[in-house]
Structure 1
Amino acid sequence: MAERRAAPEKKAAGRAAIGYAKPRSYEELRAVLSSGTVHFPKRLRQVAIFLWQHPGEVALGTIGRVAEQAGVQPSTLVRFAQIFGYSGFSDFQALFKEHVKASWPEGRREGAEQPDPAESDPNVHLVKGLAAAAQAALARLGESFEPSRFERMAEILAGADLIYLVGSKRAFPVTAYLSVTLLQQGVRSVLVDNVGSSAHDQIGCVGPRDAVLAVSFSPYNSITPDLVAIAHERGARIVAITDSTFSPLVPLAEMWLEVVEAEFAGFRSLSASLAVGMALAHAVSARRGRVSG
């Protein structure tokens, strides 16, 4: 009887608290996180977003450094690791170290985002740091870019009567630049700019023959997903540029692209997001030209 009881107990021990088998690789961990079946409280969700976006920094950092970057206490990282069946953060961190070893150039870039701290001129230090962050984000985009998703997003936007561009705060420069580019190429679009608190009125005209391109980055604000939810309810097709599977845009979007920007001195680059946006504008214009031709 004791042996029979021990078997299921041993089997249960091999499963994490979330009900999944203990992830044995970074890819398995990403698969669990992106499944949509794991729901975290606020602080653990904050950890999940950081781990998703910055695997190189997690692999190379101390628990104190990673906790500081994620904006949580070290004990929160330990709790997160234990949820997935690990005894502590060090064991859990091994997943990220193996991932970085398999793609060493990416890990080296993330570890090298900080310029030489001995740089005497603080202005030069800042410029070099911001440039390095932009380069790291663009390089990561080049490696993680998914052409099939991009093609699908371009098709959806090209087939719309009117394209609504939704983004606020840090994402607003991306949608504003996209608006200018699309209009220059003769593609009808509406920039939801919320001037005079009119965002809900602007999105209120959207219909089922229209499409919405929404842009949002962590920490995610409420107005962008609220506006996108209205458009979704009115039958518009939704595509998004965002930075993790935890974005509130993901459940609303028919298709989305992951774009993760790098940070330096509290400032995050927009280089990768603008690159994707410009490429989308060109792709939409090209498809419109083929249809009209």
Structure 2
Amino acid sequence: MDTDKRNTRRKAANNTTGSTARAHVTAGGAPRTVDGLRELVVRIGRDEADVSLGGKAHTVLAKLLEQPEEVAVRTITDLATALDVNASTLTRLCTKLGYAGFADFQSVFRDSLAHRHRHFYTHQAQRLVAGKAARMQMSGRGGASPEIDVVAQLAHESIGNVETFLGRLSPDDLRGAAALLADAPRVRVHALRQFSSLASFLCYGLGMIRTDVALLDAQGLGVAEGLAQLQPGDVVVVSSVAPYTRSVAETAAAAAEAGMTVIAITDTLASPLVPPARHAFLIPHESSFFSNSMGAYLIFCEGLLNLVATHLGKRSLQALSRRERLITALGIETD
């Protein structure tokens, strides 16, 4: 990468995340909040940070940020074993980031955990109410069968994934993404394989409340042709999770390079979709399902669509009303 391109990318990053990141960093340069660390990981992935990490170290840091509670309470030896690295690797990572050592790095996570514990009673009450509803439902069935247990396990795992992504959500990212999806001249959505269904769902929902929304390669003419129809200021939404679809990651990078704004719906900070994205939303998919669990992703997209509709206000109401008139005129729905 030449010097001019590097400076341009750093300037763009400063416009979107720089002011926020500085608020989380001490004079010594090491982030003092978990959010600050997450922002640093993104900037490192974009090659826009003053510190650089190898691919393995970057992945280790991303994995640590996926489990902040574990980092707060476990020993360096336990964490190293869980990550399949040496404890010395974690120590070197901490000092590379500007911390005095692992204890200094861990204090960032402990401070974050202490902040969360201030809301302990509210959290417990919410779980109590949810648990009561679940118990009433179970008693009404008169006991569960093995078949029901399979479905119930998946449901509980999806609930866990939802709770995890709720803890990661940034209000600024949600507001920013909703505004972009509402106001951009054109929006294109791109995902392949299993996540093509998510792309279709998001595209359909956006199309209900605004115009000029489509799948990036809806006609099968090619991704390059789809991107060629867009201009800087248009939005491209991409989605893929581990194991990542290479072409989706390449499409995200190409769209960002061409001046389009990328929004990523993916799973971890180590995802190749994160570096080119203006806003990246991390949704877990851990479950006993034999493929990637989609439940939490659909719930997130429903929430994002509601935020877009709210941002559009009367414009979304007018779009929905026009759609209803056309449905009636064409006799599409039955009574």
1:40-59 paired onto structure 2 within 5 Å: 40-59=53-72
1:172-191 paired onto structure 2 within 5 Å: 172-183=196-207, 187-191=211-215
- 1:146 Cα deviation after fit: 3.2
In 2, the alpha carbon distance for the partners of 1:155 and 1:200 equals 26
Matched, 1:102 2:115: yes
Matched, 1:155 2:179: yes
In 2, the alpha carbon distance for the partners of 1:267 and 1:90 equals 38
For residue 263 of structure 1, give the secondary structure of its aligned residue in structure 2. coil
For residue 298 of structure 2, give the secondary structure of its aligned residue in structure 1. helix
TM-score by length of 1: 0.65
Q: Which amino acid in structure 1 is aligned with residue 162 of structure 2?
A: L
- 1:44 Cα deviation after fit: 0.7
- 1:196 Cα deviation after fit: 7.0
Aligned to 2:52: 39
Matched, 1:164 2:177: no
In 1, the alpha carbon distance for the partners of 2:169 and 2:88 equals 34
Aligned to 2:228: 204
* Structure 2 residues without counterparts, runs of 5 or longer: 1-26, 125-144, 319-335
1:54-73 paired onto structure 2 within 5 Å: 54-61=67-74, 66-67=79-80, 69-70=82-83, 72=85
In 1, the alpha carbon distance for the partners of 2:80 and 2:176 equals 37
More helix by share: 2
CA 1:44 to 1:34, structure 2 compared with 1: closer, same or farther past 3 Å?
A: same
Check whether the contact 1:137–1:269 (CA below 8 A) recurs between aligned residues.
Answer: no
Q: Which amino acid in structure 2 is aligned with residue 227 of structure 1?
A: T
In 1, the alpha carbon distance for the partners of 2:33 and 2:311 equals 40
Q: Which amino acid in structure 1 is aligned with residue 113 of structure 2?
A: V
For residue 52 of structure 2, give the secondary structure of its aligned residue in structure 1. coil
Check whether the contact 2:43–2:275 (CA below 8 A) recurs between aligned residues.
Answer: no
Aligned to 2:261: 237
Aligned to 1:260: 283
- 1:47 Cα deviation after fit: 0.4
Q: What's the C-alpha RMSD, in Å, of the aligned pairs?
A: 4.3
Aligned to 1:223: 247
Aligned equivalent of 2:297, options 263, 268, 273: 273
Check whether the contact 1:206–1:231 (CA below 8 A) recurs between aligned residues.
Answer: no
- 1:99 Cα deviation after fit: 2.7
- 1:267 Cα deviation after fit: 6.3
Aligned to 1:114: none
In 2, the alpha carbon distance for the partners of 1:223 and 1:203 equals 13
In 2, the alpha carbon distance for the partners of 1:31 and 1:235 equals 21
TM-score by length of 2: 0.59
Cα deviation per residue 1:145-169 (whole Å; 9 max; x = unaligned)? 3334323322222233432102345
1:77-156 paired onto structure 2 within 5 Å: 77-84=90-97, 92-104=105-117, 130-156=154-180
For residue 179 of structure 2, give the secondary structure of its aligned residue in structure 1. helix
Check whether the contact 1:192–1:203 (CA below 8 A) recurs between aligned residues.
Answer: yes
* Structure 1 residues without counterparts, runs of 5 or longer: 1-18, 110-120
Check whether the contact 1:207–1:231 (CA below 8 A) recurs between aligned residues.
Answer: no
CA 1:123 to 1:27, structure 2 compared with 1: closer, same or farther past 3 Å?
A: same
- 1:126 Cα deviation after fit: 6.2
Check whether the contact 2:59–2:270 (CA below 8 A) recurs between aligned residues.
Answer: no
For residue 206 of structure 1, give the secondary structure of its aligned residue in structure 2. coil
Aligned to 1:9: none
Check whether the contact 2:28–2:98 (CA below 8 A) recurs between aligned residues.
Answer: no
Check whether the contact 1:167–1:216 (CA below 8 A) recurs between aligned residues.
Answer: yes
> % of aligned pairs identical?
26
CA 1:92 to 1:148, structure 2 compared with 1: closer, same or farther past 3 Å?
A: closer
Check whether the contact 2:267–2:282 (CA below 8 A) recurs between aligned residues.
Answer: yes
- 1:45 Cα deviation after fit: 1.1
CA 1:58 to 1:167, structure 2 compared with 1: closer, same or farther past 3 Å?
A: farther
CA 1:219 to 1:123, structure 2 compared with 1: closer, same or farther past 3 Å?
A: same
- 1:53 Cα deviation after fit: 1.8
